[in-house]
Structure 1
Amino acid sequence: MGGELATWEQILLGVAAVLILLFFFPGAKRMLEESREKEKDWRGVLLPLGLVVLFVLLLISLV
Structure 2
Amino acid sequence: MHQPIELLKQIRWRKFACKAATVVATEVLLNSAGLDTIGNYAEFLMEHRSTVMEVVATVITTCG
Q: Normalization by structure 1: what TM-score?
A: 0.50
Count of residue correspondences: 58
Q: Which letter maps to 2:55?
A: L
Decide whether aligned partners of structure 1 residues 50 and 12 sit closer, same or farther in structure 2, where only a CA change above 3 A counts: same
Note the residue ranges of structure 2 that are not aligned, 5 or more in a row: none
Identity %: 3
Question: Could you tell me how far 1:29 is from its partner in structure 2?
Answer: 0.9
Decide whether aligned partners of structure 1 residues 44 and 12 sit closer, same or farther in structure 2, where only a CA change above 3 A counts: same
Q: Normalization by structure 2: what TM-score?
A: 0.50
Q: Which residue of 2 aligns with 1:52?
A: 53
Note the residue ranges of structure 1 that are not aligned, 5 or more in a row: 1-5
Question: Could you tell me how far 1:60 is from its partner in structure 2?
Answer: 5.1
- Structure with the higher fraction of residues in helix conformation: 2
Q: Which letter maps to 2:14?
A: L
State which of 19, 43, 49 in structure 1 corresponds to 2:14: 19
Task: Name which structure has the greater RCO, CA cutoff 8 Å, separation 6+.
Answer: 2
